Amino acid sequence: MKTFSYKKGIPGFRFSGIAGGLKKNGKKDIGLILADAPCAAAAAFTKNIVKAAPVIIGQKRLKSGMAQAVLVNSGNANACTGAQGIIDCETASAALAQELGIRQGLVVPSSTGVIGVPLPVGKLVAGVPALVKHAASGALSEFSDAIMTTDTFPKIVALQDSIDEHTIKVCGVAKGAGMIMPDMATMLSYIVTNASIERKLLASLVREKVELTFNRISVDGDMSTNDTVLVLASCKSKPLISSAKSASYKTFSNLIYEVMKRLARLIVQDGEGATKLLLINVRNAKTAAQAKQAAMTVANSPLVKTAFFGQDYNWGRIMAALGRSGAQFDMTEVDIFFNGLQSVHNGQGVTKNIGRLKKIMEKNCIEIAMDLKAGTKSCEVTTCDLSYDYVKINADYTT
Amino acid sequence: MKTFSYKKGIPGFRFSGIAGGLKKNGKKDIGLILADAPCAAAAAFTKNIVKAAPVIIGQKRLKSGMAQAVLVNSGNANACTGAQGIIDCETASAALAQELGIRQGLVVPSSTGVIGVPLPVGKLVAGVPALVKHAASGALSEFSDAIMTTDTFPKIVALQDSIDEHTIKVCGVAKGAGMIMPDMATMLSYIVTNASIERKLLASLVREKVELTFNRISVDGDMSTNDTVLVLASCKSKPLISSAKSASYKTFSNLIYEVMKRLARLIVQDGEGATKLLLINVRNAKTAAQAKQAAMTVANSPLVKTAFFGQDYNWGRIMAALGRSGAQFDMTEVDIFFNGLQSVHNGQGVTKNIGRLKKIMEKNCIEIAMDLKAGTKSCEVTTCDLSYDYVKINADYTT
């Protein structure tokens, strides 16, 4: 596995991004991913039951396992917009399908931005011709610009590997979990590949790897109405991957996992106001569900997150968060390690390490490993600290 | 029901508070509540499985339903202190029991302060004689001072009512949920009354009313290792309340509920950095559990809390929090009201009210009522906003 320059593109895919007037600051706000032919496609959407119109429509369309184009707008979430929101989303998809001469059902729509404001669908429709005209294989960064809201840097990961002497390329782009400004809370991620894979196998792969990557990050515990992860496989490269037991599947699934994992981590690094990356690692929990629950509770604890922001060496808050997580364990058996150095032994502080542990609190990336000694299940969640800037970013907006 | 001056005391109870040197700033840090004779006693403790030593001991002792004295220290939580923590707690209780000439099992211990540091039990034991000597019926504010950590004001509520021409007095004192400084995250509350009530009935009453009051507040979603609510009934007044169906029980349970509710609200008002009191009211949920889950999810959402701090009229964040709460409802049927004025109708914003709703965002106390139209169950949770000061208070401590 190695990186490659996404600027060279992936055969069979073109990208585009234009300014259509949805963002008030005049920046790019409509993006397009276009495949030469229908692709195998699979997606994971937000589990929030308050879903944006494009999520409702995208879920229906992707039941076919096929897609050829992705139409994304920023500046408006098209969420809580009722029946009109659905109509507006259909209208925009139809305009793109007509311009491309493809079936409307092959267009996957996405939106990100303010909730509860009608989508300015006229601007979207008006932008379609220019969007298609500018589509180019090397224009992924234009697409990336168009989907970004409060992200402070673009998030693109391109990795390749060989299967039977064929080069398999996987390239992903994401916009951040910056839970920001009025409501731009959405995580969007699109991954394209030249690999050939059966549709059902792609669907199960995406489900499995999203759970291990995008579902194991947390900035503030909130979940958007629009979250989407979509994978498009052009199937231009041999061999056809048709069994989860094959060596080719293993290579491909590793590529997908690694691209998703790196994108997920970039999202956390760009979390609102984040100053530190925290790797929350729960080991030896009784069940997998308890491992995840314990890790998520520590990751989302405001007391834990503010302590790390303040570089306050404070393992008691971690113990308290574990204790209220719902995970079952004996508090007199818990061990905790900061970057491998023991902080807690059998539920009590390790006094002799305090000096070195305080030094570790100054690092930009800290792994907190918690051994519950209650079973064999583990879970790692990636999160960030909670800073003044998080509150500032989320409070200072005035409508 | 009416208030009375707690300074006059309640017959049968004395209070005391002294500076024993546990707090570095020299303020009062050891408190005592002392009854003339053994009382009917019932308590609710933290559900956190990481429990402080005094919680473990208190739970055991209160199985008898009897207690005569409460010994509280601030400045040290005696949590995550292992077997020595248990021994230290027993030692302090024994010293008090000996000084008073009562059984050790009648002493309920409590601690609040830093986690994971051995209890300076010598200071506690040394303070016992002075603590007992100064005990007086009018000294509740001394006790209150001794249990406070980062609270910015004392929290005392005294209410009385009549049962069959007997005056029943209920007086409660609490320290706050200020999740503060290193680890002073504890909510402690003690309520004394001259009422006569059977022990089992008192236990079920306390369980029921704690669930409706102290368990329905949230400052930041974190839960302490030391949380305790204790009720002591001296049984000096007639009549004996022995049935949950009696009129006397109803009068008494209303008193207990009201004292608990007022104390709980005072705790939220003194939440770290809080600038607004938020009453989160979920109506017509499918089940009681879903009503509480939905209300708690909205109350603990950092995005919702920062929006209120910033006076940003942003109902989309409330919809998104409801949607991820686990409660079942149809997003196109949700109504939301701010102080009675409709903000959302059938899942969409009510445009004509925006001007007046923005004005409501400037208030110090805002009720957010959410009608899910999915059933008949309701839940109200009291919380506060999330401000710069919350982060400052929780991050700026350096060990």
Q: In CATH, what number does B277-395 get?
A: 3.10.20.340
Contact assessment for residue B173 and residue B144, using Cβ atoms and an 8 Å cutoff = yes
- H-type alpha helices, B271-337: 288-300, 302-309, 315-324
Query: What DSSP character marks residue A50?
Result: S
What is the pTM assigned to this prediction?
0.84
**Inter-chain touch B220–A302, beta carbons under 8 Å:** yes
**Which of B47, B56, B315, B324 would best serve as a mutation to test chain A binding (most A beta carbons within 10 A)?**
B324
Q: For residue A124, what are the contacts with CB-CB under 8 A and spacing of at least 6?
A: A20, A22, A30, A71, A73, A92, A95
Per-residue pLDDT for B296 more than 50?
A: yes
- Chain A partners of B390 at a C-beta cutoff of 8 Å? 302, 306, 391
pLDDT bracket for residue A36 (50, 70, 90): very high
B323: nearest CB among A50, A317, A399: A50
User: Residues A323-336: pLDDT tens digits?
Assistant: 989 999 999 999 99
- Chain B partners of A398 at a C-beta cutoff of 8 Å? 310-312
Q: For residue A272, what are the contacts with CB-CB under 8 A and spacing of at least 6?
A: A150, A178, A179, A180, A219, A220, A389, A390, A393, A394
CATH H-level superfamily of A2-269: L-amino peptidase D-ALA esterase/amidase (3.60.70.12)
Mean pLDDT of B198-207: 97
Contact assessment for residue B181 and residue B150, using Cβ atoms and an 8 Å cutoff = yes
**Inter-chain touch A347–B80, beta carbons under 8 Å:** yes
**Inter-chain touch B116–A82, beta carbons under 8 Å:** no
Gap between the Cα atoms of A380 and A292, Å rounded: 8
Domain boundaries, chain B: 2-269, 277-395
Of residues B112, B149, B186, B297, which has the active-site annotation? Answer: B186
Beta bridge pairs of residue B189: B174, B229
ipTM over 0.90: no
Query: What DSSP character marks residue B278?
Result: E
**Inter-chain touch A390–B391, beta carbons under 8 Å:** yes
B326: left (phi over 0), alpha (psi -120 to 50) or beta: left
Taking CA atoms, what residue in A is nearest to B321? A222
Which tokens hold the place of B201? 């009935």
Instruction: Supply the residues of A annotated as catalytic.
Output: 186
Q: Of A235 and B393, which is predicted with more confidence?
A: A235
B116: nearest CB among A48, A300, A315: A315
Structure confidence at residue B387 (pLDDT)? 77
**Inter-chain touch B320–A48, beta carbons under 8 Å:** yes
Chain B: give the shortest CA distance to residue A169, in Å: 35
- Chain A partners of B271 at a C-beta cutoff of 8 Å? none
Contact assessment for residue B156 and residue B168, using Cβ atoms and an 8 Å cutoff = no
**Inter-chain touch B220–A320, beta carbons under 8 Å:** no
**H or E element: which one contains A381?**
strand A377-384
CA distances to A13, A30, A37, A96 from A33, rounded to whole Å, are 7, 11, 12, 11
Amino acid residing at B323: G
Q: Of B83 and A310, which is predicted with more confidence?
A: B83
Mean pLDDT of A264-274: 84
Chain A: give the shortest CA distance to residue B280, in Å: 17
Mean pLDDT of B217-246: 88
A316: nearest CB among B115, B309, B349: B115
**Inter-chain touch B394–A303, beta carbons under 8 Å:** yes
Chain A: give the shortest CA distance to residue B48, in Å: 5
User: Residues A109-142: pLDDT tens digits?
Assistant: 999 988 889 999 999 999 999 999 999 999 999 9
CA distances to A59, A74, A116, A150, A214 from B327, rounded to whole Å, are 21, 29, 21, 30, 23
* Phi, psi (rounded to 5 degrees) for A201: -65, -40
Chain A: give the shortest CA distance to residue B82, in Å: 7
pLDDT bracket for residue A178 (50, 70, 90): low
Structure confidence at residue A221 (pLDDT)? 59
Beta strand pairing call for A155-163 and A2-3: antiparallel
For A172-216, give the secondary structure using H, E and C. EEEECCCCECCCECCCEEEEEECCEECHHHHHHHHHHHHHHCHHH
Q: For residue A257, what are the contacts with CB-CB under 8 A and spacing of at least 6?
A: A209, A212, A213
Structure confidence at residue B396 (pLDDT)? 54
Gap between the Cα atoms of B312 and A397, Å rounded: 7
Q: Read out DSSP for B240-254?
A: EE--TTSHHHHHHHH
- Chain A partners of B331 at a C-beta cutoff of 8 Å? 49-51, 80
- Please, what is the end-to-end C-alpha distance for chain B in angstroms? 47
Gap between the Cα atoms of A179 and A223, Å rounded: 9
**Inter-chain touch A116–B309, beta carbons under 8 Å:** no
Q: Of A385 and B88, which is predicted with more confidence?
A: B88
Dmax over Cα atoms in chain A, in whole Å?
Answer: 70
Structure confidence at residue A183 (pLDDT)? 41
Contact assessment for residue A363 and residue A327, using Cβ atoms and an 8 Å cutoff = no
Q: For residue A164, what are the contacts with CB-CB under 8 A and spacing of at least 6?
A: A238, A239, A248
Closest to A216 measured CA to CA, from A251, A173, A187, A180: A187
- Chain B partners of A312 at a C-beta cutoff of 8 Å? 182, 395, 397-399
**H or E element: which one contains A369?**
strand A365-371
Chain A: give the shortest CA distance to residue B51, in Å: 8
Number of CB pairs, chain A paired with chain B, less than 8 A apart = 222
